[in-house]
Amino acid sequence: LYGRIPRESAQKQLAIAEVWLRQHSDDPELLLCLGRLAMVERQWAKARDFLERSHAARPSEEACLELGRLLTAVGDHATAAEVFRVGTGLRSSPLPELPQPDDVVPETHRLET
């Protein structure tokens, strides 16, 4: 919740949460929170690092969505697509199996799997 509070600046909150990180370095929720706070501060590299660490500590749909959104915004579309794909697989209720337009999309435009 600490990372979801609407604010224009998160500099102080980010500094406080980074202190918490010293004792909880592998806490996925804290890392997700730090990623969001870094995004408020427009510290894109730091946000990416925190979000990737959150996902590595415990993969979650929410961390994937935040990381995918950040990667899309910075132009890393291939990695963002992969992160979104992983996040979709983490849903508590998976999407139904449906036909896909593989025969319609030209091979040159398909994402690597």
How long is the chain? 113
What domains can you pick out in the chain, each with its CATH number?
A: 2-92 (1.25.40.10)
Instruction: Please tell me the pTM assigned to this model.
Output: 0.76
The CA–CA distances, whole Å, from 79 to 36, 42, 106 equal 19, 20, 20
Convert the pLDDT of each residue in 17-74 to its tens digit: 899 999 998 999 999 999 999 999 999 999 999 999 999 999 999 999 999 999 999 9
**Angle, to 10 degrees, between the axis of helix 44-57 and the axis of helix 61-73?**
150
Q: Name, in order, each residue with C-beta under 8 angstroms of 37's C-beta and a sequence gap of 6 or more.
A: 2, 3, 10, 13, 14, 17
